[in-house]
Amino acid sequence: MAVFNYSWDDVGAPQLYCSTLGCFTNILDACLVGTSGTAYGSKASMGWTLAYTDTNQRAYRQPTGTCQFYFAINDNTANVLYLRGYEAMSDITTGTNPFPHTTALASYTQEKPLFAASSLPVPWKIYSNGKIFYFAFDGNSNFVKNTSNGTYTTWYNQPRSRTFIFGDFPSYKSGDTYNCVIYSPYPVGTTEPFAGYINNAITGLYVARDYAGTAGGKQLGRDAESFLHTDVSCPSPLFGGSMELARVSIYEVMVGVRGFLPGVWYVVGDYTGYLPVSFNLKDHYIETSCGRSMELIPAYVAQTLAYEISDTWDEWPITNYI
């Protein structure tokens, strides 16, 4: 299984500027589609197809071996991105069975970075197994450049990332052919619920169809297999002082757990006290003691997400029943 990791500080990586339209689509063009199999530098692209294109608008199609659904993005507005998933598309703005459905959410958006110094590049990361991608970027920190050594420091005391997601997840439903999810912290101004507490229904989390195959997009909740509150000891004395991770499960309300998000874990408890002082999306931290190589990035205040950067993502088939 291929694992793809892209970062703003890679050699040749496209940059993200909050004052420039089209930066998000430029990054996705490179990482999802690429040129002759290359994203940039020596990094391979993920093998998606650029189905339709217009000025700062794209419709990308998943590769073979997936649902092969479409991810549409509009990067023509200063403060927000407009996102949508489709089962099929006929042009850049027209598709069938959108998720979320337009009758449920006429505008489905992702807030762009809130930087004071808009001339500085915004740190970003993409993690993927080729079937699903996580696009994380620094959403609230304001960096000031030290002209003497070229480094950046933050004066915002709660660094955090924003994340949007699209792609296939391992489903517990046998024969699930609609296990494609889209996520954005909607509406604009919402703090990062993807990294919030357990047992939350998520306004911005949708799957293409419900478990019965009903078209129109189904709102999902997400959960974790352990408590995430800051009153949980971290590192955990139950595991010899090691970091404790919780899988991110996604479920249909009053139905059951549909599956989980692969390659990403919640760090249980407040782990930020054990990380470098300057820890933020720019100064990421690598953890290997858990048997998988994890890149830890801040999510919201005292909460941390761990993305697998090793070829250890859990894959299909998966069962969760007796």
Q: What are the two backbone dihedrals, phi and then psi, of residue 194, each rounded to the nearest 5 degrees?
A: -60, -30
Tokens of 52: 């339709």
Length of the chain: 322
Mean pLDDT of the chain: 79
Beta bridge partner(s), residue 60: 50, 71
Banded model confidence at residue 318, pLDDT cuts 50, 70, 90: low
Q: Please answer whether residues 247 and 260 qualify as being in contact, where contact means their C-beta atoms are separated by less than 8 angstroms.
A: yes
> What's the whole-number mean pLDDT along residues 269-277?
55
Task: Please state the domain extents for the chain.
Answer: 4-221
The sign of the torsion formed by the CA atoms of 315, 242, 126, 200 equals positive
More confident of the two residues 230 and 90: 90
Among 58-72, 76-90, 176-190, whose mean pLDDT is lowest? 176-190
> What's the whole-number mean pLDDT along residues 6-26?
92
Percentage, residues of the chain above pLDDT 70: 69
Give the pLDDT confidence score for residue 47 in this predicted structure.
98
More confident of the two residues 303 and 20: 20
- How far apart are the C-alpha atoms of 51 and 128, rounded to whole Å? 20
Q: What are the two backbone dihedrals, phi and then psi, of residue 317, each rounded to the nearest 5 degrees?
A: -80, 150
Give the pLDDT confidence score for residue 147 in this predicted structure.
42
Among 72-76, 175-179, 186-190, 243-247, whose mean pLDDT is lowest? 186-190
Give the pLDDT confidence score for residue 184 in this predicted structure.
84
Assess whether pLDDT exceeds 50 at residue 52: yes
> What's the whole-number mean pLDDT along residues 161-168?
89
Tokens of 179: 């296990």
Q: What are the two backbone dihedrals, phi and then psi, of residue 132, each rounded to the nearest 5 degrees?
A: -140, 145
Cβ contacts of residue 310 below 8 Å, gap of 6+? 3, 292, 293
- First vs last Cα of the chain: how many Å apart? 27
Compute the half-sphere exposure of residue 227: CA atoms within 13 Å on the CB side of its CA. Answer: 7
The 10s digit of each residue's pLDDT in 133-162 is 999 887 655 444 444 444 444 433 345 678
Give the pLDDT confidence score for residue 321 in this predicted structure.
44
Global pTM reads 0.87
Give the pLDDT confidence score for residue 145 in this predicted structure.
40
Tokens of 137: 């970027």
Give the pLDDT confidence score for residue 108 in this predicted structure.
74
- The 3 state secondary structure assigned to the chain is CCCEEEECCCCCCCCCCCCCCCHHHHHHHHHHHCECCEEECCEECCCCEEEEEECCEEEEECCCCCCCCEEEEECCCCCEEEEEEECEEEECCEEECCECCCCCCCCCEEECCCCCCCCCCCCEEEEECCCEEEEEEECCCCEEECCCCCCEEECCCCCCEEEEEEEECCECCCCCCCCEEEECCCCCCCCCHHHCCCCEEEEEEEECCCCCCCCCCEEEEEEECCCCCCCCCCCEHHHCCECCEEEEEEEECCCEEEEEEEEEEEECCCCHHHCCCCCCCCCCEEECCCCCCEEEEEEECCEEEEEECCCCCCCCCCCCCC
